[in-house]
C-alpha cells in the first residue's frame, strides 16, 4: 500500500483532525438542497491492516427520497438500484439479482445513506472533526449498534460540495470513496430508478 495513502487513511480513520470546520452545516445543506445528485466515483476497499483488497470505479446518482442508481464499471460490472421501495443488486457476472426492502438497506450502503432525506441525521450522532487542507470533515457514529458501519466520515469542499466518504465496518474494513464531476440537482429521468430483472437471471428476494 502506498505510504501516502496509508498516512491519509490512518489520519482520517484513527486520529482527530485539527482546525475548525462547518461540515455538519454542509451536510444539512446538502440533504435539504440536493434533491437530485450525480457523480463519478472511485472506490478503494482496505482490510483492517489498511492493505488494499480491491479498487473499483463507476458512476452514481440519486433522487430523494430513497431513489438511487449506483453503477460499477471497473473492474467488474454491477448495478444497484433503489426504486423508493426496494433495492435491487444485479451482478452481471453471476447472472443474479438480489432484492431487499429499502428500509432494511438504508444503513448498509453508501448510496442509500446519501439518498435519504434525513437518514444520517436521524440514525447517526454527528460531530465536527475539523479541516484537512481544503476539506472539511464530519464524523457520524450510528445510534444503533447493529448498523452495518461503525463509523462514517464525510468530506466537503469549502464551498459545500461532497468530495469524499469513508466508511469503516464492524470487521475493521474501510471503504474510501472519492467523488468527481459532481452535479447537484441535474434532471434525471424516472427510468433510471426502475429495474426489471433481465430474462434468465436468478432472483433472490427477502
Band of residue 165 on the pLDDT scale cut at 50, 70, 90: very high
Q: Share the mean pLDDT of the chain.
A: 85
Q: Quick one: pLDDT at residue 20?
A: 45
Residue 98's SS3 state is: strand
- Percent of the chain past pLDDT 70, that is, above it, reads 87
Say what the pTM is: 0.86
* CATH 2.50.20.10 holds for 19-205: yes
Q: Quick one: pLDDT at residue 15?
A: 47
Q: Contact, 10 vs 50, CB < 8 A?
A: yes
Band of residue 18 on the pLDDT scale cut at 50, 70, 90: very low
Contacts of 133 (CB under 8 A, 6+ apart): none
| CA 155 to chain centroid | 12
> Which is it for the CA torsion 140, 86, 189, 176, positive or negative?
positive
For the stretch 43-68, pLDDT in tens is 999 998 889 999 999 999 999 988 99
Does the N-terminal peptide bond of residue 197 adopt cis geometry, omega within 30 degrees of 0? no
Amino acid at each position: 500500500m502506498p505510504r501516502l495513502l496509508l498516512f491519509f487513511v490512518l489520519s482520517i480513520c484513527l486520529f482527530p483532525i485539527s482546525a475548525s470546520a462547518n461540515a455538519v452545516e454542509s451536510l444539512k445543506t446538502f440533504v435539504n438542497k440536493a434533491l437530485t445528485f450525480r457523480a463519478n466515483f472511485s472506490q478503494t476497499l482496505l482490510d483492517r491492516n489498511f492493505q488494499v483488497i480491491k479498487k473499483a470505479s463507476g458512476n452514481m446518482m440519486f433522487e430523494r427520497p430513497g431513489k438511487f442508481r449506483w453503477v460499477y464499471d471497473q473492474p467488474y460490472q454491477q448495478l444497484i438500484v433503489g426504486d423508493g421501495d426496494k433495492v435491487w443488486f444485479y451482478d452481471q457476472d453471476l447472472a443474479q439479482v438480489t432484492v431487499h426492502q429499502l428500509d432494511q438497506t438504508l444503513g448498509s450502503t453508501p448510496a442509500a445513506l446519501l439518498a435519504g432525506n434525513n437518514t444520517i441525521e436521524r440514525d447517526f450522532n454527528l460531530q465536527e472533526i475539523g479541516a484537512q487542507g481544503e476539506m472539511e470533515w464530519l464524523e457520524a457514529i450510528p445510534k444503533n449498534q447493529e448498523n452495518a458501519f461503525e463509523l462514517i466520515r464525510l468530506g466537503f469542499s469549502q464551498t459545500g460540495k461532497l468530495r469524499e466518504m469513508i466508511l469503516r465496518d464492524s470487521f475493521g474494513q474501510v471503504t474510501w470513496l472519492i467523488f468527481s464531476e459532481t452535479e447537484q440537482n441535474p434532471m434525471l429521468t424516472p427510468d433510471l430508478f426502475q429495474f426489471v430483472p433481465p430474462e434468465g437471471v436468478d432472483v433472490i428476494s427477502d
